[in-house]
Structure 1
C-alpha cells in the first residue's frame, strides 16, 4: 500500500471512529446519565482517559515527531549550504525545536484567551440572570420591592435556586461557544497535518495511531460536554461534534496536498508546519 493510500485510509478511520465516539453521549444522553450519575465520577473518568490519551501523544511527539521535524530543518539547510555557504551559519541553530516552542506558545495563548472569554461570558450571563430575577420579583410584588432577606444582604431562597440552575446550565462553555470549538479545531487540524506531512509508511502508521487514541478521548469529552447543553437541539449538538471531528481529516488532506505539490518552497513549508504541529 502506498503512503497516500494509507493516509487516506486513516483519514476515514479517524473520522468515523471519532464521530461515533463523540456522538455516543449525545444520542445516549439518558443512558449515560444513569450509568454515571455523579458528576465527580464522570469527571474522574474523563480525566483518566484524557491523561492516557495525552501520554500516548506526548510519547510519539518526543520519540518521533520532534526528531523528524528537526531533521527536516537540518536537511533543508544543509542543501542550501551546498549552494550558498552563508546558509551554513543558520544550520547551527536548532530551528526545529524553536518552531516547536513557537507552536506550543501560540496554541497555549489561544487556549488561555478562549478560557478568559468563556469565563467573562458566563459571568455576564450570571449577572443578567440575577437582574432578571430581581426585576421579576419586583413586578410581581410592587408594594414590597425589597424583602427582609434582601435588606440584610442575603438573597431569597428562590433566587439562589434560580441562580444556581442558571449557572449549572450555562457553566458548560464548550457547547455554546463557537470560539472554543474553533480553538479545539485548530489544535486538531495541526495534529492531522502532522500525519499528512509524513512520507514513510511506518511514520504514518505510528502517528495515525497516536492521533487516533488522543482524538478519541477528546471527541468523547467534547461529546459529553455538548450533551449537557440545554441551549442546543440534538441536531445542533450532533453538528458541533461533526464539525470538531472533521478537522483531523481536513488536516491530513492539507498535509498530503502540500507534500504532493511541486513547489520550490515545499520542503521548508513542510518542515515549518510539521514542527508547528508538533508543538500542539
Structure 2
C-alpha cells in the first residue's frame, strides 16, 4: 500500500478517536453539568464557557471565514483566467483584485440571514420552540441571563461546525506529500479537540438531552474522517472536484456560524455575573489559541 495513503488513513483514525474522546468528557461527566454548579464550581464553569466562546470566535474569523473567502476568491480567479464573467467596479487594471465584487461576503451574509429567517419564522409560529431550556435546568440557574441557549441554536452550531469539518478533512485527503498531510493533520487535530470540547459544553448548556448530545458528537467526529475519505478518492481519481460549489457551501456554513457566535454564544457569556476582566481574559485566550493554530491549519 502507498505510504502516503497509509498516513492519510492514520490521520483519519486519529481524528475520529481524539474528537470522540474530547467531546465525551464534558458531555458525559456530571461535573460539567451547569445546573449542578455552585460557588467556585460555577465560576470555573463560567470561565470555561468564556474560553469556549473565544474558541468559537477564533474559529469563526480565523478559520471558517478565512477559508471560505480564500476559496471563493481562488475559484473566481480561475474562472477569470478561463474567460469567465467576474463583475468589477471601476477596475483600472486586470491584476487589481481590490475592485472585485465581494461575492464571498455576500454568500456569508446569506447564511447569516438564512438562520435569522428560520429562527424568526419558528419563533413567530411557535414562540416557545426556540427559547425553551431543557427540563433539567432550574429557573435559578439562568436568573438574570438571556434565554438564548436554545436547542435550535445548538443544532445550528453543531451543523455549521460539522460542515466545516468536512472541508478540513478534505484538505488533508488531497495532500500530495506525507509531511504536508501530517503537519495539516496535527493542526486540525488540535483545532478539533478544542472545538469539540467547546461544542460539547454548549450542548450541555443548551439543555440538549443526553442521547442527542451523544448522537451529535458521534456525527461531528465522523465529519473530518469522511472529508479525508472524499479527499483520498479525489486524489486517486485525479479529479479537481466541484471547487466553486464547495466554496459556496462553506461560505453559507460560515454565515450560520457567524449568527450563532455573535447572537448566541458571546451575549450569553458576557451576561454572566463573573468579573468582566476575567471573562475578557478567557475569551481572549480561546481566540488566541485558534489564531495560533491558524498559522499551520
TM over 0.5: yes
Report 1:151-162 matches (<5 A): none
1:121 to 1:89, Cα distance in 2 relative to 1, 3 A:
closer
Tell me what 2:191 maps to. Answer: 214
1:227 to 1:3, Cα distance in 2 relative to 1, 3 A:
same
Choose between structure 1 and 2: higher helix proportion.
Answer: 1
Contact 1:60 1:207 survives alignment (8 Å): no
Distance 1:255 1:240 in 2: 23
Match of 1:248 among 224, 231, 244: 224
Match of 1:47 among 45, 50, 57: 50
With 269-278 and 53-62 compared, the bigger mean Cα shift is at 53-62
Distance 2:30 2:85 in 1: 59
Pair 1:273 & 2:222 matched: no
Report 1:133-172 matches (<5 A): 164=139
Note the C-alpha offset of 1:21: 1.0
1:7-44 C-alpha deviation (Å, 9 max, x unpaired): 44333222221211111123321477679854443232
Tell me what 2:257 maps to. Answer: none
Note the C-alpha offset of 1:258: 4.6
Match of 2:161 among 170, 181, 187: 187
Number of aligned pairs?
234
Tell me what 1:237 maps to. Answer: 213
1:181-240 C-alpha deviation (Å, 9 max, x unpaired): 2552243223422441444446655554444333323321232244457673x4443223
1:206 to 1:96, Cα distance in 2 relative to 1, 3 A:
farther
In our comparison, the structure showing a higher alpha carbon Rg is 1
Pair 1:107 & 2:111 matched: yes
Question: Secondary structure at the residue paired with 1:238?
Answer: helix
1:105 to 1:63, Cα distance in 2 relative to 1, 3 A:
closer
- Consecutive unaligned residues in structure 1, runs of 5 or more: 130-161
Contact 1:191 1:251 survives alignment (8 Å): yes
1:54 to 1:124, Cα distance in 2 relative to 1, 3 A:
closer
1:257 to 1:7, Cα distance in 2 relative to 1, 3 A:
same
Q: TM-score, normalised by structure 1?
A: 0.57
1:144-183 C-alpha deviation (Å, 9 max, x unpaired): xxxxxxxxxxxxxxxxxx9826978xx6846x44x74255
- Consecutive unaligned residues in structure 2, runs of 5 or more: 89-93, 255-297
Match of 2:128 among 118, 121, 125: 121
1:19 to 1:3, Cα distance in 2 relative to 1, 3 A:
same
Distance 1:163 1:34 in 2: 12
Note the C-alpha offset of 1:5: 4.6
Contact 1:22 1:223 survives alignment (8 Å): yes
Contact 2:170 2:231 survives alignment (8 Å): yes
Contact 2:12 2:228 survives alignment (8 Å): yes
1:58 to 1:259, Cα distance in 2 relative to 1, 3 A:
farther
1:222-277 C-alpha deviation (Å, 9 max, x unpaired): 32244457673x444322321233233334434444555566xx45x224414653
Contact 1:15 1:246 survives alignment (8 Å): yes
Question: Secondary structure at the residue paired with 1:246?
Answer: helix
Note the C-alpha offset of 1:89: 8.4
